[in-house]
Amino acid sequence: MSIWSDIQDRSVGDTVRKEDNNWCGLCFDVKDSVDLTGPEKVSIKGAAWASFKFGGSSSLDKMLSTLRVKLVISPDTPKRNVPDSISEWVLYWENEVERLKSDLGSDCENNPAYQDAKTEYEKAQKEKKAWAAMALLGCYDRFCKEIRLFPNNIPKQNRKEYLVTTFVHEAMHAYFDRHPHELFPYVGTVEETFAEFGMLLFLKETNNNYYKWAYDNVVSKETCYRYGAVLMDRYEKGDAQIRQDLESYKRKLF
């Protein structure tokens, strides 16, 4: 019996076997007040168990078990914090605009350097706004070593797609985890792009039906997350180095 039919058999009702709460080592903790359907659980488990050679592991389940990362399905509805690096980017250009304004005086509007700075400032503001507007569907807590999914923040439509893609995205963050090596900080624009690329790569290599939906979803994002699809495009065109870069992003830091 294949692992898929095994999962299918158990998808009919709620948890029917004790080990369903402890899959091959990865602890799957669905909080009591969370309303997660059987098929939704099956989708997440299917992704965890799918054969995927990555970072020395043969599946996400194996990888997360080795890393001792727990998966928690939480009823919380937290809001997203805009990363410091994005806020600092806005502040930098805000200061530049002010500096040039005071240096150039009333003629600043016709100065190319001022015009450039203003364009960059507007770009940074737009990115910050887009970050703040993105719903927080999940997160990886490096201190608790927990992936948390927030179904109550997930749109009603395409719930399974969101649950699976968020789980895989957060699994990438768990893989990248450099705690307690905080000298190597989290750089949102790099890591979120890599996490999205890793998620798309996973769906592609495991022949997951959600690949096209996920790819289109990444492309439609207004933040740096969308560059994950650009990396995927390059990978698809034969640039195998990108996959190596993704896997060694963690190891190079240690």
What is the rounded CA–CA span in Å between residue 70 and residue 72? 6
Question: For residues 30 and 139, which CB has a smaller minimum distance to Zn ion in the complex?
Answer: 139
Number of alpha carbons in the 13 Å side-chain half-sphere of residue 109: 1
Three-class secondary structure of residue 168 per DSSP: helix
Site string for Zn ion, 177-196 (x = CB under 5 A): ---------------x--x-
Residue 31 DSSP SS3 = coil
Cis peptide before 151 (omega within 30 of 0): no
What is the footprint of Zn ion within residues 190-229 (CB under 5 A)?
192, 195
Do the beta carbons of residue 77 and residue 149 sit within 8 Å? no
Cβ proximity to Zn ion: between 11 and 217 the closer is 217
Q: How far is the CB of 9 from Zn ion (least distance, A)?
A: 33
Distances (CA, A) of 178 to 61, 174, 187: 19, 9, 12
Instruction: Find the shortest distance in angstroms from Cβ 166 to Zn ion.
Output: 9
Question: Which is closer to Zn ion, CB of 127 or CB of 192?
Answer: 192
Rounded CA separation 175/177 (Å)? 6
Contact in structure between 146 and 140 (CB atoms under 8 Å): yes
The nearest distance, CB 192 to Zn ion, in angstroms, is 5
Are 217 and 191 in contact by the 8 Å Cβ rule? The answer is no
CB of 72 to Zn ion, least distance (A): 16
In angstroms, give the least distance from the CB of 8 to Zn ion: 30
Please, which residue, 147 or 242, has the CB nearer to Zn ion?
147
Q: How far apart are CA 164 and CA 52, in angstroms?
A: 15
Q: Among residues 118 and 196, whose Cβ is nearest to Zn ion?
A: 196
Q: Which two tokens stand for residue 228?
A: 């994950």
CB of 185 to Zn ion, least distance (A): 15
d(CA 231, CA 215): 11
Q: Smallest distance from the beta carbon of 169 to Zn ion, in angstroms?
A: 5
Nearer to Zn ion, 61 or 192 (CB): 192
Residue 30 or 195: which CB sits closer to Zn ion? 195
| Binding-site size, Zn ion (CB under 5 A) | 2
Residues that bind Zn ion (CB under 5 A): 192, 195
